[in-house]
Each structure stands twice: as C-alpha cells, then as structure tokens.
Structure 1
Amino acid sequence: MLLHTAAWPEIEAYLKTSTGIIIPIGSTEQHGPNGLIGTDAICPEVIAREAGEDAGILVGPTFNVGVAQHHLGFPGSMTLRPTTMIAALNDWIDSLARHGFEKIYFLNGHGGNIATIGAAFAESYSNWSFDGEACPYELMQRNWWDLPGVMDVCRSLFPVGEGSHATASEVSVTYYAYPEHVKNVKMSPKIAPNGRFTDADDYRKTFPDGRIGSDPAQATPEKGATIVQAARKAVIQDVTAFFSR
C-alpha cells in the first residue's frame, strides 16, 4: 500500500496491525547522457513499491531531492544543503512518529545522502536523550545496492563497466520502471574515467559527460527487471527482520 494513494482511515487501520513503514529516499541529479535525472529516487521507489505490494508493507512518499551539490554543473540537477535535509528528515520522522509509527526504514538510492541521513538520525535521537525520555521509534537506513545478493546480480550482468556513478545497473532499473524513456546515446570514451571531485565546477571539468567509471550503454529494461526482482526479495527480508525486532 502506498501512503500517498491511501485515505486516512486506511492508514489508521494499517497501524493496528503494523507500525512499520518504508520511505524511499534518493536524489535528483544528472546521471550521464543516457541516465534519467531522477535515477537515485526512482531506483529505491520502484523497489520499495514492489516489495510493499508483495508483502503488504506500507510505503511512504519518496524523499526525492538529496545532497548533490557536486552535480549542479549539469542542468536539471537539484540539491539540498545537508542542514536543510537534516531538518526536513526530522520533520518527516516527527510526523510519522506522531501517528504511532515505530519502525521507519529509509531505503536509500544515493551515496551522497548516507552521511546526512545518519546525522538526521542522530539529531532525532538526541531530542529524546536531552529530554531524558526513551525514544518510542527506531530508524534504519539501507542502500538498495547493499541488500544481500543485489551486487552479485549487478556484477553478473555487468562484469565490465558498472562504474560508480551513472552505473549500468541503476540506469537499467530506471529503464525497467520507465521503458518509454530509454535513451540511445553514443558516449565516448566507452567506459568513463574514475577520479575524485570537490564542488560542482570541479566535477564538471573532471567528468564532462557526468559518468564516473561506467558504461551505461549496456543498460536495458530486461536487466533492470532482474535487478529489481533480487532487490525486492532482499528488502522484504530486511524490512521484515527490522519490523519484528
């Protein structure tokens, strides 16, 4: 069940049987010449949605703009400052806790969010610690690619050219979700370079087409379906264990 397509009596009824929810969280940023700008939000969203449908788990709206300042050299990319994201996440958490949610599982799709999500959790727990009260909820963050077995599938599909940004696997997942938006683009070099970066200007100079170490021309909707199938099963197991502890 999706929170944003449910009516409030349905959520009230759900809370009588479960106090757990999945929140997909990602980013809105460039993903190379053939990658969708919403890739990092789309991937956890589609995986969470299918897991929720299979296992009867409530899935909240996607937190779809994250920490991505280094991508601002590419049109369409959007970002939050870490402090803004921490504040927004705490408002989301407080809203859900107000209604009685006790297990809030964030399925993340953007590596640049990891530290900030962790800081948001620390901020949230700190409020209870300073008040000398026990926190009534538990928070969890999981990157979809870190789910058991998922990277094994990705490596088997893309033994060469997976890369670390605009990867063949993440682009495949978005093509599975939106096959009408598959983009056939010639990219040179075939496999993008690797390296480090700082701000948006430095990123654009170092990686002019936006990719890092990847060859996403290999991406297909069919390969995306294989990845989502593996991730869906893994997230159900992970969430079920989290909700039950």
Structure 2
Amino acid sequence: MASPDHFVLRSHRLADLTWPEIAGLRQYAPVAIVPLGACEQHGPAMAQRTDTTRAEVVADLVAERLNPRVVVAPVIPVGVSEHHMAFPGTLTLSPVTLQQMVYELVTSLHRHGWRKVFVLTGHGGNNAAVEVAVSRLRGDLPALHIAWSGITPVVSDVASELALSEIRGHSCEIETSQAIFVDPELVLEERLARGSSTVDDLDPAGRLSRSQPGIHFPQGYDALSATGNLGDARAAGKEAGARLITTAVERIAGFLRELLDLPDRKPAIGVEKP
C-alpha cells in the first residue's frame, strides 16, 4: 500500500475525478473542504462572484499545501444575501435553504467515508446558516469532526494592520485587495470608489447599529452605503491581498494538519442515536 506521501492525486477537486479514482483516494485524503460563496453586489467595481472565487481559491491553495491529504467539494455559489437585494443582480438563498444544503452535502461526504470536513465560507452572510448546519451535523453524525471559518476573520490581525478606514467590511480595501490577488478580472480598478468609511457616513440606523459592541442590529447595505461598499476600495493593492490570502492559507492549513491527526469523534457517554 502506498503511503500518503507517495500517493498521486490527479486533482484535489472531487468534481474533476471519476468514481474509481475517488474510491481509491479516500484513505489517503481524509479531509474534505466545502467552499461556500455568494452571488451579490460588491460595489461599483467588483464582480458578483467575488466571495465565491475567494473561497474556491483559498480552498485550492490549502489543498495544494497539504497535497494529497485534502480534497475540495464543489462550491455552493449562492449564499444568504438578503441584505444586498436592493442592488440589481444579487441572488439569495434563505438561511434555512443554505443550512440544509450544507447539511446534505456534508452528509453525502460522510456516507462516502469522510470523517473530517472543513467548511470555508467566503461570505459573512452565510455564517449563521453554517453554524446551524454544523450543530445539526455534530449531533447527527457522532464520528464526524467538522470545523468552519470565513477568510478575513482568520487574518483579522493582519486586516486591522492594513486597513485605513474606520468602517469597513464589504468591498473595502481589505476584501478588494484579496480580490485583486486571487483574480484580477474580478476588479474594475478604474471604478474603485470610497464607500461609507466613517461612522458619520452612516444614516441614523447605521450609526446605532455600530454603537454598542455585542448588540446586533442588522441593516441592508442600501441603507449603509449608496455605492454598496464600505471602506475605501481605492486603497486596495495586490501586495496587501497576497499577504492576507497567503496568511489565511497558512493558518487554515496549519489547523487542518492538526485535524488530520485527531481520531474520529466518539458519541457522548450514555448518548445513543435513535
């Protein structure tokens, strides 16, 4: 039997492989990454697939870093984007629909032998749905190790160091820098614009939503910014994007290296599945 270090994986993307190839690789590639994206407005200068592409690229880079021990499932390209629906072309799923899609996709992987799964979302609006799905999966699949993250939250310290705007988070200098690095075709650099960048730029509800840490008062992006973006995308650059993405890949890969060494989960004592 070949060792993991000597096993050749023709592609780490499951969708590119045949079923006999997949049957042969499972013992060598015990971790599956499930990328999630969105199809939503990203201000006047970035494509709607920005979150999807960022998730796909980071997943690919992590899989390459850990080759051949990680496979990547097909991306879910539409997410929970109701807060962007005032802008033409945004597509959205309900949180219930997305969490069920994540649940069923991971369950499919589990049925084929994967016991270690990492869900990677390129869109923060997916977070609540992912957390519900992960909670359900942990309860229903006792042997499954499942973890999840976004991209920018993994490098929040780097983002804080590089950011210039008081208010940021969507199509700002941080996200735009990542987009320029992962796929320059995502960005029309001549159209990059400053969005709402300070608390004073926000309307009264927007200011209130930012007034108390820990209190959640969600707002639609049309109420937060006339252009649909926060922060100052004009300050973005490929060098910053490279640092953000490379650091995220290193940190996620480091986590997965440790996940690879964990034994399967066991049911809690005294708990039996119905």
| TM-score of the pair, normalised by structure 1 | 0.85
The equivalent of 1:156 in structure 2 is: 161
Q: 1:64, CA displacement in angstroms?
A: 2.0
Q: Which runs of 5+ in 1 are unaligned?
A: 129-134
Identify the match of residue 208 of structure 1 among 199, 217, 226.
226
String of CA shifts for 1:121-152, please: whole Å, max 9, x gaps.
22334445xxxxxx2212111122232xx233
Matches of 1:114 and 1:49, distance apart in 2: 21
Contact map agreement 1:167 1:216 (CA 8 A) in 2: yes
Contact map agreement 1:162 1:168 (CA 8 A) in 2: no
Matches of 1:189 and 1:108, distance apart in 2: 24
The equivalent of 2:146 in structure 1 is: 139
String of CA shifts for 1:198-230, please: whole Å, max 9, x gaps.
565xx3244221113x11112223322222211
Identify the match of residue 100 of structure 2 among 87, 100, 107.
87
The equivalent of 2:15 in structure 1 is: 4
Correspondence 1:103 to 2:103: no
Contact map agreement 1:162 1:169 (CA 8 A) in 2: no
Matches of 2:246 and 2:192, distance apart in 1: 29
SS at match of 2:71: coil
The equivalent of 1:187 in structure 2 is: 193
Matches of 2:168 and 2:229, distance apart in 1: 8
Correspondence 1:221 to 2:238: yes
Contact map agreement 1:36 1:171 (CA 8 A) in 2: no
Matches of 2:75 and 2:240, distance apart in 1: 23
SS at match of 1:58: strand
Determine which structure has greater relative contact order: mean sequence separation of CA pairs < 8 Å that are 6+ residues apart, divided by chain length: 1
Matches of 1:64 and 1:136, distance apart in 2: 28
Correspondence 1:165 to 2:166: no
Q: 1:162, CA displacement in angstroms?
A: 6.8
Correspondence 1:25 to 2:25: no
Matches of 2:228 and 2:153, distance apart in 1: 23
Cα pair distance change 1:125/1:13, threshold 3 Å = same
The equivalent of 1:131 in structure 2 is: none
Contact map agreement 2:43 2:171 (CA 8 A) in 1: yes
Q: 1:189, CA displacement in angstroms?
A: 5.6
Contact map agreement 2:138 2:144 (CA 8 A) in 1: no
Contact map agreement 2:80 2:92 (CA 8 A) in 1: yes
String of CA shifts for 1:10-41, please: whole Å, max 9, x gaps.
32222112321111112221111122212222
Percent pairwise identity? 29
| TM-score of the pair, normalised by structure 2 | 0.77
The equivalent of 1:75 in structure 2 is: 88
Q: Which runs of 5+ in 2 are unaligned?
A: 1-11, 210-216, 263-274
Amino acid at match of 2:31: G
String of CA shifts for 1:34-89, please: whole Å, max 9, x gaps.
22212222222211111111211212211221111111111121111111112211
Q: 1:101, CA displacement in angstroms?
A: 0.5
Amino acid at match of 2:28: T
Cα pair distance change 1:186/1:38, threshold 3 Å = closer
Amino acid at match of 2:149: R
Matches of 1:65 and 1:238, distance apart in 2: 26
The equivalent of 1:124 in structure 2 is: 137
Identify the match of residue 238 of structure 1 among 239, 243, 255.
255
Matches of 2:116 and 2:54, distance apart in 1: 22
Look at both structures and tell me which one has the larger radius of gyration over its CA atoms.
2
Amino acid at match of 1:216: A
